[in-house]
Amino acid sequence: MPWTRKDLITLEELSLDEINQIHATAAAFKKILGRSVKKVPALRGKTIVNLFLEPSTRTRISFDIAAKRLSADVISFDASASSTTKGESLRDTAENIRALGADMIVLRHAASGSPLYLSKLLDIPVINAGDGAHAHPTQGLLDTFTMREHLGSLKGRKIVILGDILFSRVARSNIHALKKFGADVTLCGPSTLVPRHLTALGVTVSHDLRGALAGADVVMLLRIQHERQSANHFPSLGEYTSMFGLNKTRASWLNPKALIMHPGPINRGVEIDNDLADGPNSVILEQVTNGIAVRMAVLYLCSGGQPENVIAAD
Ligand code: CP
């Protein structure tokens, strides 16, 4: 099937076939990234604007590198030095960027729904780089890409997402992708951050850490997202760590070969201990590296490229 989407807004709307197409394209780009000349001319002449209106380290740099590896011209928008500080709206900002000749916008925004809004307004591709607590599709794609590299098929694999699920766009995007791959997903954490109604997503909800971790193939830690919480959802960080932080004893409940994952940024000593974040089961930095190939695939496909052209050239 040819790739037909202009935008990437959520993983919920993608078919399994489309996710497989992105992963296959990313795998081909990953091989190119391993060569001495890492650049391909696929997006030569195109201008990509990284419009990040919320802080980011990994996603922003990863999209920058991905666009450069595809030979695109990249403009990274510094929100603090822009006219958004003078009250310019998102719509006006984006329409002006379009008028300046952008061929694609990568948007991170604190408001859920902003990438969808821009995608309907603009005739150029809009890529969601994280919108509020709603979705972070390229994170879900790179996480599942990393899991598949290690585990092969995800069908029937026990994947535990542990932490602040309520405010996590990463959790939502992973859940949608993992369900399509047939994984058995458990969400775990305090009941205030992992409410029962999340079972509507087709997952298991557990507040029993030992039971949730028992025999799991993957545990994905999430940080407490203070910036999106308007109330205290647990008494203190110390109490959170004592009940749900991943330490050596708790990690021994996992499958011995289990992958330890985290989208970053990590709060060491809160949701995960140092020796696990840096230990042999951790694939946290591999996730970051894989983000470049996955984002190259997304930029390439949404610009009108076709998977078979990259896969055949590989
Ligand atoms: N994983 C992630 O989105 O990290 P950043 O906020 O640093 O981009």
Top mutation candidate among 52, 58, 161, 289 for ligand 1, by most atoms within 8 Å of CB:
58
As given in the structure block, the two tokens for residue 156 are 């029937």
Say yes or no: 155 and 256 in one domain.
yes
Q: Are residues 232 and 172 in the same domain?
A: yes
Nearest residue (CA) to ligand 1, atom 3: 59
Do the beta carbons of residue 294 and residue 25 sit within 8 Å? Answer: no
Task: Give me the chain's average pLDDT, please.
Answer: 94
How many structural domains does the chain have?
2
- 80 and 182 co-located in one domain: no
Q: Based on the domain organization, do 152 and 116 belong to the same domain?
A: no
Counting from 1 in the atom list of ligand 1, the atom nearest the Cα of 59 is 8
- Say if residue 196 carries a ligand binding annotation: no
Q: Return the residue whose CA atom lies nearest to atom 1 of ligand 1.
A: 263
- The answer to whether residue 305 sits within a structural domain is yes
Same domain membership, residue 145 and residue 120: no
126 & 246 share domain: no
Report how far Cα 168 is from the mean position of its chain's Cα atoms.
Answer: 10
Q: What is the pLDDT of residue 56?
A: 95
Q: Do both 150 and 196 map to the same domain?
A: yes
Measured in angstroms, how far is the CA atom of residue 1 from the centroid of ligand 1?
31
Q: Is 276 a domain residue?
A: yes
* CATH number where 297 lies: 3.40.50.1370
Query: Are residues 173 and 250 located together in one domain of the fold?
Result: yes
Query: Which residues form ligand 1's pocket by a CB distance below 6 Å?
Result: 56-59, 130, 136, 139, 263-265
Q: Is residue 168 part of a domain?
A: yes
Q: Are residues 147 and 255 in the same domain?
A: yes
pLDDT digits (tens, 9 = 90+) for 121-168: 999 999 999 999 999 999 999 999 999 999 999 999 999 999 999 989
Q: Are residues 83 and 56 in the same domain?
A: yes
User: Is 223 assigned a ligand-binding role in the annotation?
Assistant: yes
Q: Which residues pair with 126 in a beta bridge?
A: 105
Q: pLDDT tens digits for 34-51?
A: 999 999 999 999 999 999
Q: Residue 190 sits in which domain range?
A: 137-287
Cα–ligand 1 centroid distance for 197 (angstroms): 26
The answer on 161 and 46 residing in a single domain is: no
In 72-135, the DSSP E strands lie at: 73-78, 104-109, 126-131
> Which pLDDT score is estimated for 129?
98
262 and 122 fall within a common domain: no
Beta-carbon contacts of 100 under 8 Å, excluding residues fewer than 6 positions away, are: none
Ligand 1 mutation pick, 56, 61, 146, 285, max ligand atoms within 8 A of CB? 56
Strands (DSSP E) contained in 95-232 are 104-109, 126-131, 158-162, 184-188, 204-206, 218-221
In a domain, 180, yes or no: yes
Question: Which ligand 1 atom sits closest to the C-alpha of 62?
Answer: 8
